[in-house]
């Protein structure tokens, strides 16, 4: 019986440790993204229908959604509200919290390493997402494309 408690305790500590390390990784990447965005404009925290940040540049104001996709080999945008993450352990839906429905210029930043990013045109047609492409009224970029995107915009 003591062995069972020891195993359960070890399992609980492992799960807690994994959760804590995932939170630290997410925070590290979020801080890096914030630093990059602050180089192109004024960045504010914004909890407006799922937007994480509001970025005001000299030309535009962007509402920004950070899309954390650890271990993803593909991120797909099937419709305005149907976003999926594909990982070796399976697929799951990403909660948009109404982000796709807000008005204005919307930017989705996927991090840390999403593999390929695709948009479904219909049931049989898929295209690879580029930073200049409209994705159901949003712009979708990989974290490594932030500087390039804003240099092209400016």
Instruction: Provide the residue range defining the domain that includes 147.
Output: 2-153
Positions of the chain with pLDDT under 70: 1, 4-24, 154
Distance from CA of residue 139 to its chain's centroid? Answer: 12
Q: Residue 39 phi/psi, 5° resolution?
A: -75, -15
Question: What is the structure's pLDDT at 8?
Answer: 66
Question: What is the structure's pLDDT at 127?
Answer: 95
Residue of 131, 138, 134 whose CA lies nearest to 104? 138
State the total domains in the chain: 1
Question: What is the structure's pLDDT at 20?
Answer: 52
Q: For residues 154 and 142, what is the distance between their CA atoms, to the nearest angstrom?
A: 18
Q: Residue 105 phi/psi, 5° resolution?
A: -80, 120
Question: What is the structure's pLDDT at 120?
Answer: 93
Question: What is the structure's pLDDT at 12?
Answer: 61
Question: What is the structure's pLDDT at 97?
Answer: 83
Q: Which residue has the tokens 């219909």?
A: 122
Question: What is the structure's pLDDT at 26?
Answer: 79
Residue of 40, 39, 37 whose CA lies nearest to 51? 37
Q: For residues 9 and 148, what is the distance between their CA atoms, to the nearest angstrom?
A: 47
Predicted structure pTM score: 0.82
């Amino acid at each position: 019986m003591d062995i069972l408690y020891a195993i359960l305790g070890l399992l609980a500590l492992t799960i807690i440790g994994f959760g804590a390390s995932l939170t630290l990784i997410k925070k590290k990447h979020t801080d890096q993204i914030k630093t990059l965005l602050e180089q192109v404009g004024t960045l504010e925290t914004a909890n407006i229908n799922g937007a994480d940040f509001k970025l005001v540049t000299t030309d535009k104001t962007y509402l920004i959604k950070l899309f954390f996709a650890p271990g993803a080999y593909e991120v797909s945008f099937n419709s305005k509200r149907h976003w999926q993450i594909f990982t070796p352990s399976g697929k799951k839906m990403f909660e948009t919290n109404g982000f796709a429905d807000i008005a204005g210029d919307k930017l989705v930043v996927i991090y840390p390493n999403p593999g390929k990013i695709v948009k479904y045109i219909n049931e049989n047609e898929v295209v690879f997402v580029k930073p200049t492409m409209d994705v159901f009224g949003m712009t979708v970029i990989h974290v490594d494309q932030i500087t390039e995107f804003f240099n092209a915009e400016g």
